[in-house]
């Protein structure tokens, strides 16, 4: 029985990894989560810590328990007060350390050639570091923007993986039905062989079809388990914990109808992590060359973001159309299925014909689910393009 008021095994992996890193920085134990206990209500913490995953918890779980996010948070503590000059000085200091450690070999040394090559390589490395210092545009703000962008990408990835999980889960129905059909076909060929109406080769072919269907089902079940494991590990659960995956939200068709693409392009430009990074790097530019590069990058990114949003909207409309068509096809299959059930009850249809119709019905049902998940994926992609992740290159 699941108890929602306890801290589960869910965060053990993230807690151990983060605690190992944190303990080198501060002398007292800390929870692996980023936020203090007062950041959420007790009920909210309990929900985040149980072994049930809800779609709308993903962003908070990534923020509190994802190992990459936790490590970035720790690393940022050493970087949050750095100016562009501090970052550049780090390059200069490293370069100067290399310069000061260079020792030129004696020309009479038997290994003079290889030693001199090593010296030249060290000088080249130091020169490159000095150049990187001159061209550096980083500071604590760009570092934070990069970490925020990474976190947003992880949330999007986890949302997509949860959709993928359910897509794989629903596809099992079709594969199970294929296995049943193959077994029915195999039995039928055996009966026909006994009646002298088939051949051993056809029976063997039907048996191979059963083996193929079984293998496909086993492979799909394995892939489903891998997707679930990858998703739950990303969200902070320990390896092997049995997590219940909650249902996905329904696609909001009214939201699609209300889209104003031109307004959304401006929103995507305003929220773009990549563009914010470029704008900050432009402010931090030390040389005209770097300034010109960042200005051109800024122009290209604005154009790319607009193109990405328009493409995302087109994908959204196509996904909606495919979903609506699958619903129409499913309604027709429901009518045929109802008719087949009445005929079976009346004895006017064979069991094989009924199973064929049942398979067609189940295929249409799975297609509706699949198309719905494709629409949901398109909506996730589009929304994230507005929320800072529009492709900018």
pLDDT tens readout for residues 81-91: 889 888 889 89
- Residue 109 — pLDDT band, cuts 50, 70, 90? confident
* Whole-number Å distance between alpha carbons of 151 and 257: 30
pLDDT at 17: 42
pLDDT tens readout for residues 172-196: 988 998 898 899 899 999 999 999 9
Long-range contacts of the stretch 121-130 (C-beta < 8 A, 24+): 122/98, 123/98, 123/99, 125/98, 126/95, 126/96, 126/98, 126/99, 126/102, 127/95, 129/91, 129/92, 129/94, 129/95, 129/98, 130/91, 130/92, 130/95
Whether residue 291 is predicted with pLDDT greater than 50 in this model: the reply is yes
Q: For residue 52, which phi and psi values (nearest 5 degrees)?
A: -130, 125
Percent of the chain with pLDDT over 90: 75
pLDDT at 15: 39
Whether residue 20 is predicted with pLDDT greater than 90 in this model: the reply is no
HSE value, Cβ hemisphere, 13 Å, CA-based, for 186: 16
The lowest-confidence range among 52-61, 84-93, 192-201, 240-249 is: 84-93
pLDDT tens readout for residues 31-54: 467 888 989 999 999 999 999 999
The lowest-confidence range among 109-113, 117-121, 226-230, 263-267 is: 109-113
| SS3 category, 261 | helix
CB atoms under 10 Å from CB of 50, counted, come to 20
- Residue 259 — pLDDT band, cuts 50, 70, 90? very high
pLDDT at 18: 42
pLDDT at 32: 62
Q: Residue with structure tokens 């969200």? A: 235
Q: Are 98 and 126 in contact, with CB atoms under 8 Å apart? A: yes
Q: Are 367 and 324 in contact, with CB atoms under 8 Å apart? A: no
pLDDT at 27: 31
Q: Residue with structure tokens 């080769």? A: 201
pLDDT tens readout for residues 130-147: 988 888 899 999 999 999
What's the mean pLDDT in 325-349?
A: 95
* Whole-number Å distance between alpha carbons of 381 and 145: 20
pLDDT at 76: 94
Nearest of 158, 156, 173 to residue 228 by alpha carbon: 158
pLDDT at 375: 98
What's the whole-number average pLDDT of the chain?
Answer: 89
* Whole-number Å distance between alpha carbons of 71 and 13: 13
The lowest-confidence range among 59-63, 136-140, 216-220, 266-270 is: 136-140
Residues 6+ positions from 215 with CB-CB distance below 8 Å: none
1's tokens: 């029985």
Nearest of 251, 241, 278 to residue 372 by alpha carbon: 251
* Whole-number Å distance between alpha carbons of 389 and 145: 12
pLDDT at 351: 85
Whether residue 22 is predicted with pLDDT greater than 50 in this model: the reply is no
Q: Are 330 and 340 in contact, with CB atoms under 8 Å apart? A: no
The lowest-confidence range among 25-29, 165-169, 269-273 is: 25-29
Tell me 55's DSSP state.
Answer: G
């Amino acid at each position: 029985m699941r108890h929602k008021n306890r801290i589960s095994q869910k965060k053990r992996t993230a807690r151990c990894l983060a605690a190992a890193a944190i303990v080198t920085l501060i002398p007292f134990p800390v929870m692996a989560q980023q936020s203090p206990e007062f950041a959420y209500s007790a009920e909210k913490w309990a929900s985040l810590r149980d072994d049930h995953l809800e779609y709308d918890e993903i962003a908070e779980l990534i923020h509190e328990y994802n190992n990459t996010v936790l490590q970035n948070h720790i690393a940022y503590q050493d970087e949050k007060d750095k100016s562009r000059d501090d970052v550049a000085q780090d390059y200069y200091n490293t370069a100067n350390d290399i310069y000061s450690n260079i020792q030129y070999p004696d020309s009479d040394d038997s290994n003079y050639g290889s030693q001199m090559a090593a010296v030249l390589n060290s000088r080249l490395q130091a020169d490159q570091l000095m150049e990187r210092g001159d061209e550096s545009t980083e500071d604590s703000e760009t570092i934070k923007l990069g970490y925020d962008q990474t976190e947003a990408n992880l949330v999007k990835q986890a949302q997509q993986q949860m959709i993928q999980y359910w897509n794989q889960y629903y596809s099992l129905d079709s594969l199970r039905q294929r296995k049943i059909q193959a077994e029915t076909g195999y039995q039928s060929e055996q009966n026909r062989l006994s009646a002298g109406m088939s051949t051993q080769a056809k029976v063997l072919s039907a048996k191979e079809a059963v083996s193929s269907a079984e293998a496909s089902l086993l492979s799909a079940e394995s892939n489903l388990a891998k997707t679930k494991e990858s998703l739950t590990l990303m969200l902070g659960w320990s390896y092997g914990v049995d997590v219940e995956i909650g249902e996905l939200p329904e696609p909001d068709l009214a939201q699609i109808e209300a889209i104003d693409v031109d307004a959304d392009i401006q929103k995507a430009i305003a929220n773009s992590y990549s563009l914010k990074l470029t704008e900050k790097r432009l402010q931090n530019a030390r040389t005209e060359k770097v300034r010109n590069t960042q200005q051109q990058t800024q122009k290209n990114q604005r154009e790319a973001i607009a193109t990405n949003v328009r493409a995302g909207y087109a994908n959204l409309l196509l996904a909606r159309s495919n979903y609506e068509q699958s619903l129409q096809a499913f309604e027709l299959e429901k009518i045929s299925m109802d008719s087949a059930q009445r005929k079976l009850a009346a004895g006017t249809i064979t069991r094989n014909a009924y199973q064929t119709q049942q398979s067609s019905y189940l295929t249409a049902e799975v297609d509706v689910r699949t198309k719905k998940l494709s629409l949901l994926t398109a909506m996730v992609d589009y929304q994230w393009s507005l929320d800072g992740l529009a492709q900018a290159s």
